[in-house]
């Protein structure tokens, strides 16, 4: 079946560090990818929609300068958390929409980000 | 804006029994998709079942089936013959049929299987 690879799975770093998370569709082309954030025991909240070759669309309340999204190819989107602080600690999950009609979104395994 | 409501934060069921998880949603659209996702402790999001709003027939995937009531905007998940591996968080999700196809999730139901 369709696979989405998300890397890294776990990051622990100091406050002020910028962290890049990659989301790759391994066996299909993804014109659109989505980035979600999930706090403990809560639901997934959409942060932004990443479209190949164009600027990402951010949800209300999400700082686009804080969470930089790049979707440079049909199989790769990256989320960079710039100058991360402890309040940015969370679980980040990407999903990719198969460009073929009628296909569901496929999720990556998530990245647990811990800022010390 | 669409909203998805799961009114049961936690549910439990005896192994081999049947359990139903509730989901209601609010939308003004006529064409859309509904999903149930499972998130085990590994936190991987696993698609359990999907339903197209234009289809009257309820979707079924092995032990999983839905009761889709479009007029009532209800989309419940029934798990038959519950197994220990079914223990997880279950999220109901809505997706529009047009536009950027983003998913709107409910708050989730934690399902515990009692051996």
Mean pLDDT of B35-54: 94
A35-65 residue pLDDT tens: 999 998 899 999 999 988 888 999 999 999 9
Contact B42 A109 (CB under 8 A): yes
Per-residue pLDDT at A1 exceeds 70:
no
| pLDDT for res B3 | 92
Beta-bridged to residue A13, according to DSSP, are A115
Across the interface, which of B35, B100, B108 has its CB nearest the CB of A32? B100
pLDDT at B1 over 80: no
Per-residue pLDDT of A67-112, as tens digits, reads 999 988 889 999 999 999 999 999 999 999 887 766 778 999 999 9
Which of A5, A41, A44 to probe by mutation at the B interface, max B CB count within 10 Å? A44
The rounded distance, in Å, linking the Cα atoms of B37 and B103 is 11
Contact A44 B102 (CB under 8 A): no
> Residue A15: what pLDDT?
96
Q: b/e map of B46-80 (b: 16 or more CB within 10 Å)?
A: ebbbbbebeeeeebeeeebbbebeeeebebbbbbe
Closest chain B residue to the Cα of A59, Cα to Cα = B102
pLDDT score of B100: 64
Nearest to B103 among A57, A105, A112 (CB): A105
In this predicted structure, what is the pLDDT of residue B99? 65
pLDDT of res. A2: 66
Q: pLDDT value at position B96? A: 85
For residue range B74-113, list pLDDT tens digits in order. Answer: 999 999 999 999 999 999 999 987 666 789 999 999 999 9
Q: Is the dihedral of CA A35, A15, A90, B94 positive or negative?
A: negative
Which of B40, B43, B48, B59 is most worth mutating to test chain A (most A CB atoms within 10 A of its CB)?
B43
pLDDT > 90? residue B2:
no
At B52-79, the pLDDT tens digits run 999 989 999 999 999 999 999 999 999 9
B2 CB neighbours in chain A (<8 A) are none
* Residues of B with Cβ-Cβ distance to A46 under 8 angstroms: 102-104
Distances in whole angstroms, Cα of residue A39 to Cα of each of A93, B13, B57, B93: 11, 26, 35, 17
Report the distance separating Cα A66 and Cα B93, nearest Å.
27
pLDDT at residue B83 in the model = 97
């Amino acid at each position: 079946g369709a696979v989405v690879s998300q890397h890294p799975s776990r990051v622990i770093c100091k406050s002020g560090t910028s962290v890049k998370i990659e989301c790759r569709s391994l066996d299909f082309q993804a014109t659109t990818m989505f980035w979600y954030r999930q706090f403990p025991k809560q639901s997934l909240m959409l942060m932004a929609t990443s479209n190949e070759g164009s600027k990402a669309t951010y949800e209300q309340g999400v700082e686009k300068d804080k969470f930089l999204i790049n979707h440079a190819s049909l199989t790769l989107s990256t989320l960079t958390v710039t100058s991360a602080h402890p309040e940015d600690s969370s679980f980040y999950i990407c999903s990719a929409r198969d460009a073929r009609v009628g296909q569901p979104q496929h999720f990556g395994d998530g990245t647990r980000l811990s800022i010390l | 804006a669409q909203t998805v409501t799961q009114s049961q934060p936690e549910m439990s069921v005896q192994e081999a029994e049947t359990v139903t998880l509730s989901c209601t949603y609010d939308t003004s659209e006529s064409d859309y998709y509904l999903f149930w996702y499972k998130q085990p402790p590994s936190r991987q999001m696993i698609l359990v079942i999907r339903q197209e709003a234009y289809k009257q027939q309820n979707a079924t995937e092995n032990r999983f089936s839905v009761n889709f009531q479009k007029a009532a905007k209800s989309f419940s998940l029934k798990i038959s013959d519950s197994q220990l591996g079914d223990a997880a968080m279950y999220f109901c999700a809505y997706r529009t049929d047009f536009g950027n196809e983003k998913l709107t999730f409910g708050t989730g139901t934690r399902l515990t299987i009692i051996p």
